[in-house]
Structure 1
């Protein structure tokens, strides 16, 4: 029996993974706060799920799509550290632990970059709350010593897919004529199609010689200006009103989010993945957006 464990696997990405792994013949165990799954409080149940599992994928963590007040910031950080620590402790209790543990991280760990792209070898770590969360999250993960389990941290860029994620608000903005640039429009938008994210995990599962951190983003990052232009083209919307920084800051207060999510320039390249031979299925934004927008017509 092939078994995989998805921690925090009830969101957009986790749902996609569950469907695909089941189609491959895996039994999928999910750890979450939902009653129908294994509870984070059920430590014995978590160990049982991990026992003899082929892969553990940890996607758990409170959403960063909120205002960064002290309460939310504490929950964002604690939710990542707490779940990662608990999973590590649970693996150590297994007689036959998972062969590989893939833990989420974020491409936001790098600095705001409009001058050059960030790679694993030459990327510069940024500063600020989001970066500190990423740094503590990765440190917690890599400090856990597991003699039988290979560990990989994926610095994931913004994930695009047909059934959720940021594409829902982006499509709505474009549909109602608000699909212009956000801020200056010069900030870089690093992204990855959810199918490539899934395939990367399969690729790393089979490459037993690989471990450590990987940038998980497409090789074709674009500017915000190019993103909105391409989205308008794919959706056949002739124009889009721009959203200057002051308007975004005002709107962010009302919808309880942070402008960093759209204004930070994330220019990230998957240098290590490509060097090791991974070939992206969705390497261009054009192919990605067309597959997403036309998904229900296929």
Structure 2
């Protein structure tokens, strides 16, 4: 019997994974802060992502474990939030490591979230898994600590893969919804200088890539991004065209600072140049359905 466990699987990406994998596994278990219950043959089991309370037994005989746990970075970087962003990632990864080691028959493959934000701000160089340069700031140090917590404990019977994921563009959640709204009301101009790169991936390619990694048993660090990073100004121009709005007011850095204060987020999410490419996926023969942003937008708006 095949069994998939998704830790923190009730959000946008968790739902994308569930929809993709629901007919491919005999059983799906979601570890959630909500109550334990079964809905549509999917078993939800309560956990607090910090210590054992019975949920760890679910890992026995699991085929695949995917961990998505971590406080959203879409918030103000207050001292309190920064602490929560870091520790929600470290603690959940740590307790899962303990749970995996406790199992008689541990999960065969564990895929843990990470982020393409781990690479430095780059306008010049494309970052892949081999030659990518790691930067040094709050978000990057969180990513480094997260991957360290994941890899430093050896799990001899469980393969490990860290998913350095970029912005996932989806119909029902994530960054695409606010961006689409901005473009529709005339604020779809470039953000900041507009020359910063956006690394993105369509939700279908995101789940297909994860499926591919599981099938091929690819381990280590993998960039989950589309092959073509795109400059912010071009991204917004193509989005305006896709939603059919003729112009877009550009948002300079000051406007972004004011706006992000009001919507309780940080400008880093749009101003950092993430110039990341999926070298490992391509080398292993993965084929992207939406490598082109115009096709991706067309599909998402359809």
The answer, yes or no, to whether TM exceeds 0.5 is yes
CA contact under 8 A between 1:5 and 1:53: conserved in structure 2?
yes
Residue 143 of structure 2 corresponds to residue 134 of structure 1:
yes
Residue 164 of structure 1: SS of its match in structure 2?
Answer: coil
* Partner residue, 1:218: 226
User: How many Å apart are 1:25 and its aligned residue?
Assistant: 4.2
Matching of residues 98-177 of structure 1 within 5 Å: 98-177=107-186
Q: Quick one: distance in 2 between partners of 1:26 and 1:66?
A: 37
* Partner residue, 2:29: 29
* Partner residue, 2:12: 12
CA contact under 8 A between 1:46 and 1:90: conserved in structure 2?
no
CA contact under 8 A between 1:80 and 1:137: conserved in structure 2?
yes
Q: What value does the CA root-mean-square deviation take over the aligned residues?
A: 1.1
Residue 61 of structure 2: SS of its match in structure 1?
Answer: coil
Give 4+ residue runs of structure 1 displaced > 3 Å after superposition.
Answer: none
User: How many Å apart are 1:23 and its aligned residue?
Assistant: 2.7
* Partner residue, 1:289: 297
Matching of residues 181-200 of structure 1 within 5 Å: 181-200=190-209
CA contact under 8 A between 2:60 and 2:106: conserved in structure 1?
yes
User: How many Å apart are 1:47 and its aligned residue?
Assistant: 2.2
* Partner residue, 1:62: 71
Residue 252 of structure 2 corresponds to residue 244 of structure 1:
yes
- State the Cα deviation string for residues 169-203 of structure 1 (Å, max 9, x = none): 00110110110100011000000111111111111
* Partner residue, 1:95: 104
Structure 2: gaps of 5 or more residues:
37-43
Q: Quick one: distance in 2 between partners of 1:103 and 1:3?
A: 17
Q: Quick one: distance in 2 between partners of 1:26 and 1:14?
A: 17
- The alignment covers a number of residue pairs equal to 293
User: How many Å apart are 1:51 and its aligned residue?
Assistant: 0.8
Residue 28 of structure 2: SS of its match in structure 1?
Answer: strand
Q: Quick one: distance in 2 between partners of 1:283 and 1:120?
A: 19
Structure 1: gaps of 5 or more residues:
none
Q: Quick one: distance in 2 between partners of 1:20 and 1:215?
A: 20
TM-score when normalising by structure 1: 0.96
TM-score when normalising by structure 2: 0.95
* Partner residue, 2:40: none
Deviates more, 1:149-158 or 1:42-51: 42-51
* Partner residue, 1:74: 83
Residue 107 of structure 2: SS of its match in structure 1?
Answer: coil
- State the Cα deviation string for residues 181-234 of structure 1 (Å, max 9, x = none): 0001100000011111111111111223x3100111000110001111111111
Residue 110 of structure 2: SS of its match in structure 1?
Answer: strand
Residue 238 of structure 1: SS of its match in structure 2?
Answer: coil
User: How many Å apart are 1:16 and its aligned residue?
Assistant: 1.1
Residue 165 of structure 1: SS of its match in structure 2?
Answer: coil
CA contact under 8 A between 2:4 and 2:25: conserved in structure 1?
no
- State the Cα deviation string for residues 237-264 of structure 1 (Å, max 9, x = none): 1111110011001111111110000000
CA contact under 8 A between 1:187 and 1:263: conserved in structure 2?
yes
* Partner residue, 2:47: 40
Residue 154 of structure 1: SS of its match in structure 2?
Answer: strand
Residue 133 of structure 1: SS of its match in structure 2?
Answer: helix
